[in-house]
């Protein structure tokens, strides 16, 4: 069959697919350069129109609710775009200057009600663990993380009910988003005590919001200010949360254990390519190219599409249409056995399936006596209430029992234990070295050396360091890995 042979010859091999995917890193590096002029034009095309729409909504209140509601959707779309630009500032990609990114990011908080520094750090944690089943965020993130079917079934009755209720599309996609942006972001409830700068940033954001909107209330009145604010923030928060929730939980996505996880595969198979109409792509600042963004977070939004078009391997990402994305929030659990996302209903149906033991099992409820051999079943369809029929337990099958091979599981557990022990020793040695270090350069060099030793690499580098009081928090690693975090005394005179 020459036709089949020709088709097989044209199909790329698994090795070629892997090589193409690894080449994507090199391709992505070419698009990480920011263009300040383009970024400034994006701001000019977003913030002034948003201010004009807000002013028009306030003026339209004198005519009734219809002018306000008519302008609310485009204003909400511009708030979503402001949030996307703030997101780029958090990654340091919108402008070349970190100072410019931070200044614009904090300014955007007045429109998005999102504390810039706190959200930036939380989001950086998401980029370190996305679609990794062994390193999921156990905090308050109900949108980009998920539980497995086995974990869901192991929950108690009330916890399972709460878990399912919080992730019901009506709750998670409609009721919670306004509360998240308007209420929960006012309190750093999920920020550890060591995040002093981020916690302080939440309170400073609250002060800025109180000054800005308190001034509006004084000039225009509490009712008009609250009416316009809610008319814009409710649809904007719903759209923003929906955009992020469909990026990693949808039909066709892939979640893996840490031993199988790698950033390229996780970007292409664990993140969606949300193909939106051109006008929605503009309002979302190309957030739909999420597979490209996760591969290289430093690529600004205005270069994501060019990067996607630069290599055909990007086209292998799971494409979501608008209809697919609207249905995606139903998929809330990862089924490790089936290797796919499932709905709560599908998880429940699978848990109710039992191997057929006898003919009357579907029609009866077991009532086997404790400690007895024979039991009784009440027949639901019996004409006589309380009619009992005997149940004889099935005879056990004879033959050798086959125990599962757990050698690989035990080996993986031992390797993980050895890795963690080695990294703990490395962190302790780093702390001891810091006690006698006199300058920052020596401390950074030692951190890189210890990280390479702990990760089993030829060399490593310091990925991030940040002072927290008189303590220095250092994250060192190799390439695209998340690295190892250590705490040390800040050397004298270091900043």
Place of tokens 């550890």: 192
201-256 per-position pLDDT tens digit: 999 999 999 999 999 999 999 999 999 999 999 999 999 999 988 988 889 899 99
Rg (alpha carbons) of the chain, rounded to whole number: 28
Q: Which tokens go with 165?
A: 């209720």
426-450 mean pLDDT: 74
Identify the bridge partners of residue 376 per DSSP, sorted by sequence position: 367, 390
pLDDT category at 369 given cuts 50, 70, 90 is: very low
Closest-CA residue to 468 (of 200, 203, 194): 194
pLDDT category at 138 given cuts 50, 70, 90 is: low
Where in the chain are the domains?
A: 9-330, 414-489
Give the CA angle between residues 211, 216, 220 to the nearest 5°. 155
The CA distance from 286 to 270, in Å, is 18
Q: Is the pLDDT score of 158 beyond 90?
A: yes
Q: Is the pLDDT score of 105 beyond 80?
A: yes
**Which residues, 6+ apart, have CB-to-CB distance to 269 below 8 Å?**
253, 254, 317, 318
Q: What is the DSSP string of 175-243?
A: IHHHHHHHTGGGS-TTS-TT-HHHHHHHHHHHHHHHHHHHHHHHHH-HHHHHHHHHHHHHHHHHHHHHH
Q: Is the pLDDT score of 198 beyond 70?
A: yes
Predicted local confidence at residue 277, as pLDDT:
94
Q: What is the pTM of this model?
A: 0.69
pLDDT category at 125 given cuts 50, 70, 90 is: confident
Evaluate whether 448 touches 476 at the Cβ level (below 8 Å): yes
Q: Is the pLDDT score of 68 beyond 70?
A: yes
457-487 per-position pLDDT tens digit: 666 677 677 665 566 666 676 554 555 556 5
Q: Is the pLDDT score of 273 beyond 50?
A: yes
The CA distance from 489 to 428, in Å, is 12
Evaluate whether 234 touches 178 at the Cβ level (below 8 Å): yes
Q: What is the mean pLDDT of the chain?
A: 81
pLDDT category at 7 given cuts 50, 70, 90 is: very low
Share of the chain above pLDDT 70, in %: 74
79-98 per-position pLDDT tens digit: 999 999 999 999 999 999 99
């Amino acid at each position: 069959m020459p036709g089949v042979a020709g088709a097989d010859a044209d199909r790329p091999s698994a090795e070629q697919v892997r090589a193409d995917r690894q080449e994507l890193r090199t391709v992505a590096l070419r698009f990480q350069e920011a263009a300040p002029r383009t970024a400034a034009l994006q701001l000019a095309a977003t913030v002034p129109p948003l201010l004009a729409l807000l002013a028009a909504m306030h003026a339209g209140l004198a005519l009734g609710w219809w002018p306000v509601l008519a302008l609310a959707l485009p204003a909400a779309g511009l708030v979503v775009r402001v949030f996307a630009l703030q997101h780029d500032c958090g990654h340091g990609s919108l402008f070349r200057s970190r100072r410019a990114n931070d200044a614009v990011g904090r300014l955007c908080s007045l429109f998005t009600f999102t504390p810039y520094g706190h959200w930036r750090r939380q989001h950086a944690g998401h980029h370190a663990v996305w679609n990794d089943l062994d390193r999921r965020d156990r905090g308050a993130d109900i949108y980009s993380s998920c539980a497995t079917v086995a974990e869901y079934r192991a929950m108690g009755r009330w916890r399972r009910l709460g878990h399912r209720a919080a992730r019901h599309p009506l709750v998670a996609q409609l009721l919670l988003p306004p509360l998240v942006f308007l209420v929960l972001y006012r309190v750093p409830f999920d920020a550890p005590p060591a995040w002093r700068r981020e916690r302080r940033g939440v309170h400073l954001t609250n002060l800025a919001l109180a000054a800005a909107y308190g001034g509006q209330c004084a000039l225009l009145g509490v009712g008009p200010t609250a009416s316009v604010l809610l008319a814009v923030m409710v649809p904007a928060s719903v759209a923003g949360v929906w955009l992020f929730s469909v990026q990693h939980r949808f039909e066709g996505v892939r979640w893996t254990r840490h031993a199988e996880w790698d950033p390229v595969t996780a970007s292409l198979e664990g993140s969606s390519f949300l193909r939106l109409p051109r006008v929605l792509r503009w309002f979302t600042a190309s957030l739909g190219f999420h597979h490209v963004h996760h591969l290289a977070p430093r690529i600004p939004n205005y270069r994501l599409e060019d990067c996607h078009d630069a290599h055909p391997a990007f086209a292998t990402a799971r494409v979501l249409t608008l209809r697919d994305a609207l249905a995606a929030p139903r998929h809330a659990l990862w089924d490790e056995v089936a290797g796919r996302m499932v709905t709560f209903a599908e998880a429940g149906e699978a848990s109710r399936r039992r191997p057929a033991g006898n003919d009357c099992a579907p029609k009866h409820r077991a009532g086997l006596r404790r400690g007895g051999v024979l039991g009784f079943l009440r027949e639901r369809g019996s004409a006589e209430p309380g009619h009992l029929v005997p149940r004889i337990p099935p005879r056990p099958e004879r033959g050798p029992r086959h125990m599962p091979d757990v050698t690989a599981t035990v080996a993986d557990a031992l390797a993980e234990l050895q890795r963690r022990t080695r990294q703990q020793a490395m962190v302790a040695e780093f702390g001891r070295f810091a006690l006698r270090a006199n300058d920052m350069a020596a401390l950074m060099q030692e951190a890189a050396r210890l990280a390479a030793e702990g990760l089993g690499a030829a060399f490593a580098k310091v990925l991030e360091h940040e002072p927290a009081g008189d303590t220095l928090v250092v994250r060192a690693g190799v390439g695209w890995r998340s690295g190892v975090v250590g705490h040390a005394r800040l050397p004298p005179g270091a900043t």
